[in-house]
Structure 1
């Protein structure tokens, strides 16, 4: 019998709590000192997180860092799981408590003094933990990250051996039945199918077998994408995920386990060929799981979204939102595919412009979005930032405008948006 993983667990508690506040109340709520320096609502499902941790192995060290003056609403669940609460008093005018630095120092010290520790788990979404991940892996230990999908830094996620989105843990523990209904982002199943094709191709190349044992597939998926989990796409089991992908794979009965094969061996080559045809800026977005609608639809879709909420105030969930948006576009003689509607919704969702009423299960627009122009700037700013943060050379605004809008007319607007973002970032620093 193999020895269970020996785990050291570290919570950047304010980070994950603030991320969930952003999802529920909007991006500015937690930044407000009046809100931040008061008793905090209990949003983090500690039991669901610990259920996953305990399934990985035995917890030897369990430390949570935060200003516990405001988080005492979590005290029962934290004590129930024997969490060591490390008090972090705010420092400086921005109230940053330095938890990331303290956690990193403690983690390295703990795994040095306790060589039996085999796995480090960090709960938080900051890029500050990339260096910690590198040091942990240099010492031959595994590192698992847990963070809120919508706010987690992509480089921190990729630096882990495995990364779990908080929402996927809720699905696994049956705390929620639907990601979208509860206000979490649902992964694009087409992305998962592409990853599955790559994984099967990689295993086939290594083994020479075209029919792959099911048990070998998920570890390869996680090697290719540390954040892969079928729960990200709304599936509670890996089996149900595979069954949904039968347009690209075939499932065969085996002696001890199912065997999986590509329906067409040419799928992988075709996927790689199509990827090479994408614009470099679109490739940057797709690596972050951001998908664009048809460029002629982006501006119209954003403006019609604002008009839709002005007309209705609240809408009963995301499916009805897509249906109503489709109706408005058709009334203007514009045909949008289901994929286009999903992509418009995804871009807007990433800007935290939607407000979900959890009691009535209705959607509205955040109060700070006062016009269609504001919503457009908010969405486009997000896309510009996602592209420019991953460039080593100066941005080509005309190429960016062509990608986003199908013409070069908005190149000047994109330059202004980027310059404004840089100014805001520098002023904060």
Structure 2
């Protein structure tokens, strides 16, 4: 029987992080992930639930006890104290519960985790990457980043590059420790236990691997693998294998004995189209729901909006559908529903009565969508559009098989392409479907991106750099590592990666994609903006690069998920630079701890009229580029309007700016 779990959620800590980082937090996904480890017999969440009413239904649907902690304006967060008391009380009174899960990033829970371990309880910490304190990580037996627990695909970014290097060092240290004990080769399961003892935050899923074995195979330059009795063993490269261990069994014809043969990894071949499609959808964080479930959800969305246009917001619609499915015993959580709805949203299938797009605005079907089949087709066209935008070759039969489980449905895929063409979203050039625009880089003419394209076009590739996508990818990884140390070096390296990817697309090199180019361009924009504003103090010169970043990173774009970790700091610095540009001291704004919404309030309500005017101007510029990110900020501010009246005033200003821009 699986060991019992007790789950304690510092909900306010997690929910506020999710709002700041534009992360759609679904408690159902987290509970389902944890219950794979055993039955959760205690589930408690601590918060002032008057502030988080929109989460209460999903919490109760997962049988989570809501512990009310009333907010106080100053002093110790009482949720921390109450959670710690409850956890320790259960540890003393319920000995059958062995595993304790603490969901928070707050280092104040470190003593609790340490004390639970002292009493022989296994502690698992779960918290967001960006706010979790290292002290909490090392106090737990095991620590899982919240994004990993929720199934977010691991993208290579600045943080993960450092994690990759740390994991490699950890592997070497663990193997050395086993070698000193004469315990080589070591079973892979024991090796992982040792690595977790050394660093509880180690988790191959954080690095993009579903299992430990593929991660080990990827680091064959540090360790080699053996099999014995169908068990996997690991040893350092200099370990001398004996005859009874083998990686690849091969009979020695002369001696009749088995020898150890280290297999050479073949050169990577170009992936089949189906694999390319799956990889593209995963990279762009698009839904991979079963066909029947996806279509059932889309049909239900259509019927509700067709029968009740404008009577509910998208959030209310999702809540209603989730309740309906739950009552029918269907496993379709809100995360699934939102992912499916996003397909239709990205293809313009909704109308918000000429209001700015928002999950909290009344919604109806867009003009021209007058049938269930038409709505489903409009939503499923998003899969096809994503592949065209990435520059991937379109094979009708292969795509029909992936999306519809039937290669004979090529005509349907063609109809989606025809619809996209009719709506002006794609065109054909040289017998390929591409985005409209000049040349092979369709967004080269975008005014907001002109400054990036100009910089890329001026790059001269050094003689020692090999052209192609592999070199571009290597340079991008190098730039990620440089970013935390040297904005100037990072921006130069990113720019060179952009140039190589751009050239590879122009010549039609296999593997060159517009999605990767846009990723490199957004990364370059963030690095050069950091260099100009934080190193050169050229705040006006940095502003076009901030705007270019937000022109690329839109909420309805897959790049949003890949760049989510930079959205928050980029927006905070974009607004705080208004004060610096006017030589106003902004150190009291505490950029490292304040959310973009708080920075907006500081700037918009500052005593300096000149600063308020400049904030209004740069916010208007941003509204013209990316209104959805401002809509999220306004929604965040409205959540705390009762406690902080000035937040409501700034939210109203942002709403007024959005209205003004939408009418131009």
Q: What are the equivalent positions in structure 2 for 1:190-229 lying under 5 Å apart? A: 190-206=165-181, 208-229=182-203
* Residue among 231, 253, 258 paired with 2:227: 253
SS of residue in 1 equivalent to 2:39: strand
Greater shift, 299-308 or 191-200, is seen at: 299-308
| SS of equivalent residue, structure 2 residue 24 | coil
TM-score, structure 2 normalization: 0.40
Q: Pairwise mapping of residues 75-224 of structure 1 onto structure 2 (< 5 A)?
A: 75-93=56-74, 97-171=77-151, 176-179=152-155, 188-206=163-181, 208-224=182-198
Q: Which has the higher helix share?
A: 2
After TM superposition, give the deviation of residue 368 of structure 1 in Å: 3.9
| Alignment deviations for residues 20-77 of structure 1 (CA, whole Å, 9 cap, x no partner) | 22323xxxxxxxxxxxxxxxxx832323321232122221211111122232322343
- Structure 1 position 369 matched with structure 2 position 550: no
What's 1:14 paired with? 12
SS at match of 1:140: coil
State the SS of the aligned residue for 2:144.
strand
Aligned pair count reads 299
For residues 302 and 145 of structure 1, the distance between their equivalents in structure 2, rounded to whole angstroms, comes to 33
Aligned ranges 1:272-283 → 2 under 5 Å: none
Cα shift readout 1:331-369 (whole Å, capped 9, x = no counterpart): xxxxxxxxxxxxxxxxxxxxxx99953322345631542
For residues 262-273 of structure 1, the aligned pairs below 5 Å read 262-264=236-238
Note closer, same or farther for the CA distance 1:356–1:5 as it changes in structure 2 (3 Å cut).
farther
Deviations 1:90-147 (A, max 9, x none): 11258x7521111011111122222222121110011111121122122221211110
1:88 deviates by 1.4
Alignment partners' CA distance in 2, 1:219 and 1:105: 29
Report the counterpart of residue 385 of structure 2 in structure 1.
none
Tell me, in whole angstroms, the C-alpha distance in 2 between the residues paired with 1:23 and 1:303. Answer: 24
Structure number with larger C-alpha Rg: 2
Deviation (angstroms), 1:19: 1.9
Aligned-residue CA RMSD in angstroms?
A: 4.0
Q: What is residue 44 of structure 2 aligned with on the other side?
A: 63
1:138-162, Cα deviation, whole Å (9 max, x unpaired): 2221211110011101101111111
Q: Distance in 2 between matches of 1:220 and 1:318?
A: 36
Secondary structure of 1:85's counterpart equals strand
Q: Scaled by the length of structure 1, what TM-score is found?
A: 0.60
Listed one character per residue, the Cα deviations across residues 212-246 of structure 1 (whole Å, up to 9, x for unaligned) are 22222211111111111001111122122111111
Work out the CA distance in 2 between the residues paired with 1:46 and 1:64: 10
Deviations 1:185-212 (A, max 9, x none): 5653222111111112212323x14322
Q: Does 1:360 align with 2:576?
A: no
Pick which of 67-76 and 159-168 moved more: 67-76
- The CA distance in 2 between the partners of 1:327 and 1:247, in whole Å, is 34
Secondary structure at the aligned position of 2:230 is classed as coil
**Bigger RCO of structures 1 and 2 (CA < 8 A, at least 6 apart):** 1
Mapped contact 2:495–2:524 kept (Cα < 8 A): no
Q: Is the 8 A contact 1:121 1:143 kept in 2?
A: yes
